[in-house]
């Protein structure tokens, strides 16, 4: 064998992965599912025990997809054994843990309790619990003893706060979706999070009133909550980002002492008027505004938008999406088009406007005319129209000769046929 061949063979057997930097190894492991994570133990002697100390454990949809429910077998015993063994083998802290239980897996509640008890001693900072089972699990009581949590996301569980709950002292992010709260559970939970900055509540039940005693809260989003009566944000002094998407039987009152919100998203799945919830005088500090499901054929809603724009002199971006009745397009009845005052430049900071309408609304052009005439710094105004196939139902929407306070304003018309 020649010397060159010897060098070639030697090069073929070089262990190129054992000496990788730790940050590179972590980057590789972060992109592997739990099965492939365990398989890395055969790569080399150094890698044999790396996976059992990796601080991220994710039993997500990809993990459960390994089991075929079409064979009509009950895979829950095997799944429970694997998750339990992985947790018992793990050596070191677990910073991030994910458990997503798809429908069809009858995971015993006792196993979930055992896993949460084990995790409560592992210094978990980020936890995600989700279930798609028809009957929601209860959040195990050991969950409330986690001391280092910073981020929590829970979907479709029942939540009852135990009386000995001492709070999550490091928590900054809470996300609840399709949850069932016991009476007073949300308030008890939030009051025990002195550093909470972001709170998302989506499609949950069991909440009648919300009184947020969260002075550090910056982002609050509440969407599709049934039968909620009131929301009080007076104590959330640092709140700057608010999202309200309410159902027909949604909130009946919002406290009148709102903090100085900079970003606001509102949408109502009902005939509720925006003015009934937030008065324009409370929105002076707005920089971003999104109004969803607006009925631009209603004079009251048009005038509300105009009054908000006159109050929000610092507004930079505006997004409006119209209300669309189920069952198709409705041809609007003829009526007087609202003429809006276009004399003063009240929107000196406004740069971007996006308006989306499903069909022609008689007040759309009045609103656009008002925005163009009062926005001295405007860069882009986009009108996106979804219209029916019948061209005769749609009048000409754009008049390029509209008065513009900004000479650099670019108007874009997007047209989509439905």
Report how far residue 318's alpha carbon sits from residue 350's, in angstroms, rounded to the nearest whole number: 8
- The whole-chain average pLDDT of the chain stands at 80
Tell me which residue has tokens 């640092």.
238
Strand intervals (E) in 273-402: 288-294, 317-322, 352-357, 380-387
High-pLDDT (> 90) share of the chain, %: 37
pLDDT tens by residue, 121-155 = 999 999 999 999 989 999 999 999 999 999 999 99
pLDDT of residue 7: 46
Coil, helix or strand at residue 397: coil
* Low-confidence stretches of the chain (pLDDT beneath 50): 3-4, 6-8, 10-11, 326-337, 388-395, 397, 400
Burial of 367 per CB tally in 10 Å (0-12, 13-18, 19+): buried
pLDDT of residue 95: 94
Show me where the domains of the chain are located: 20-54, 292-324+344-417
What the block records as the tokens of 278 is 């937030």
pLDDT of residue 390: 46
What the block records as the tokens of 192 is 């025990």
Report how far residue 214's alpha carbon sits from residue 274's, in angstroms, rounded to the nearest whole number: 25
pTM of this prediction exceeds 0.85: no
Contact status, residue 345 vs residue 405, Cβ threshold 8 Å: yes
């Amino acid at each position: 064998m020649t010397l060159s061949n010897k060098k070639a063979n030697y090069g073929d057997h070089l262990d190129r992965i054992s000496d990788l930097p730790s940050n590179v190894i972590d980057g590789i492991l972060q992109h592997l599912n739990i099965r492939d994570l365990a398989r890395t133990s055969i790569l080399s002697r150094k890698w044999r025990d790396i996976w059992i100390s990796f601080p991220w454990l994710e039993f997500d949809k990809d993990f459960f997809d390994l089991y075929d429910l079409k064979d009509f077998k009950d895979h829950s015993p095997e799944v429970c054994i694997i998750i339990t063994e992985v947790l018992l083998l793990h050596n070191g802290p677990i910073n991030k843990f994910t458990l997503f239980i798809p429908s069809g897996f009858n995971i015993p509640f006792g196993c979930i309790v055992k896993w949460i008890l084990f995790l409560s001693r592992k210094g978990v900072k980020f936890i995600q619990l989700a279930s798609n089972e028809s009957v929601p699990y209860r959040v195990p009581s050991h969950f409330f003893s986690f001391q280092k949590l910073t981020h929590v996301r829970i979907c479709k569980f029942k939540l009852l706060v135990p009386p000995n709950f001492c709070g999550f002292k490091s928590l900054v992010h809470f996300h609840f979706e399709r949850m069932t709260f016991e009476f007073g559970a949300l308030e008890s939970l939030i009051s025990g999070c002195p550093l909470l900055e972001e709170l998302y509540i989506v499609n949950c039940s069991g909440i009648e009133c919300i009184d947020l005693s969260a002075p550090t809260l910056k982002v609050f989003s509440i969407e599709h909550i049934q039968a909620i009566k009131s929301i009080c944000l007076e104590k959330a002094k640092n709140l700057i980002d608010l999202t309200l998407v309410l159902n027909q039987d949604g909130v009946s009152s919002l406290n009148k002492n709102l903090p100085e919100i900079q970003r606001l998203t509102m949408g109502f799945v009902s005939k509720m008027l925006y003015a009934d919830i937030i008065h324009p005088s409370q929105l002076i500090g707005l920089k971003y505004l999104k109004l969803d499901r607006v009925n631009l054929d209603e004079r009251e809603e048009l005038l509300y938008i105009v009054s908000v724009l006159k109050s929000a002199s610092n507004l930079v971006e505006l997004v409006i999406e119209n209300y669309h009745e189920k069952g198709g397009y409705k041809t609007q009845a003829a009526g007087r088009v609202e003429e809006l005052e276009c004399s003063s430049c009240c929107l000196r900071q406004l740069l971007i406007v996006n308006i989306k309408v499903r069909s022609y609304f008689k007040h759309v052009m009045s609103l656009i005319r008002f925005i163009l005439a009062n926005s001295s710094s405007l860069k882009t105004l986009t009108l996106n129209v979804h219209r029916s196939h019948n061209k005769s139902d749609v009048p000409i929407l754009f008049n390029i000769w509209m008065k513009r306070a900004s000479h650099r304003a670019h108007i874009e018309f997007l047209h989509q046929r439905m």
